[in-house]
Structure 1
Amino acid sequence: MYSIGKNIGILNRQFNIFLNRELVGTGLNATEFMYIGYLYQNNGIMQDELAREFLVDRAAITRTLKNMEEKGFVDRVRSKEDGRERRIYLTEKARSYEKLAESIQEKYIRAAGDLLDGQRQREIEDTVSFMVRLIRRINQNLEEG
């Protein structure tokens, strides 16, 4: 039986394999690298905002960010507005990987481009983005009600 969920899971695992292979020697794993990529554009966001963006629970994001802090990639700073909350800032070490992030993204896009034309790539990206928004809405409605 055809399963969108199964195929999305496989796609995610294969993408993580690709990232982990590219990240050998950096001290980062795929999840940490995706967080850093998001923080390049959103440096200083609240830890809970990052958890919501990636749809992970507070305990998981706390563990990952604590590990990243110990490795010197982020600083977790208590919020002045709410002392229970932490803002996440990239360190210079993390910033030094920005060019690598760009090259990995370009490599992935080139590889996908060899298999898909630009129009098909945009259609897939639009469809996946729509599915993420949809499932977020479905889960939010279930939580509320």
Structure 2
Amino acid sequence: MLMNDLSIIVRHSNAFLIRKLQKYGVGCAEHVVLTFLAKNNGVNQESIAQFYKLDKGAVAKTLGKLEEKGYIIRKVNEENQREKIITLSESGKEIITEMEQLLKEFNAAIFEGMSVEEIKTVEKLVGTISKNVLNHLKDGDDVND
């Protein structure tokens, strides 16, 4: 079953990263936000919540933890005083480098024995599935609606 297999991959990759990032005090939710900011530095809280389909309050709590640890900086948007722009701090950028190396290590293990072509096929198929899920769950809709 696809969902069971994907769940195993996600659970074990999270456990791997949490174990390896323990020295930085970074949990699973914090890792997810840092990963998003690595690719989308200088965004607002709502962008993160929308991308992952998460509650804004949960994202705010995670951002608070990251700010306390010195991994992000939140500044008031000069164009919209009610909004804060989130960027990675220098410490945040350093941990991203560590996370990228750990993900390379994990990917090498999970793709062991696969050709480059097979890996690209898996990534393309999973990417398509991810896009399909997002398209079918827009605006909080359920697949069964």
TM over 0.5: yes
Give the corresponding residue for 1:93: 91
TM-score by length of 1: 0.85
* Aligned twin of 1:50: 48
**TM, length-normalised to structure 2:** 0.85
Percent identity of equivalent pairs: 24
Where do 1:1-145 residues align within 5 Å? 2=1, 4-140=2-138, 143=141
Distance 1:49 1:10, change over 3 A: same
Structure 2: gaps (5+ residues): none
Any stretches of 5+ residues in structure 1 without a counterpart? none
Q: How large is the Cα RMSD of the aligned pairs?
A: 2.1
Distance 1:114 1:10 in 2: 17
Higher relative contact order (CA 8 A, sep 6+): 2
Deviation at 1:142, TM superposition (A): 5.8
The number of equivalent residue pairs is: 143
Q: Once the two structures are superposed, what CA deviation does each residue of 1:28-49 show, in whole Å capped at 9, x if it has no partner?
A: 1233123222212321111111
* Distance across 1 between alignment mates of 2:84 and 2:140: 28
Change (3 A) 1:142 1:20: closer
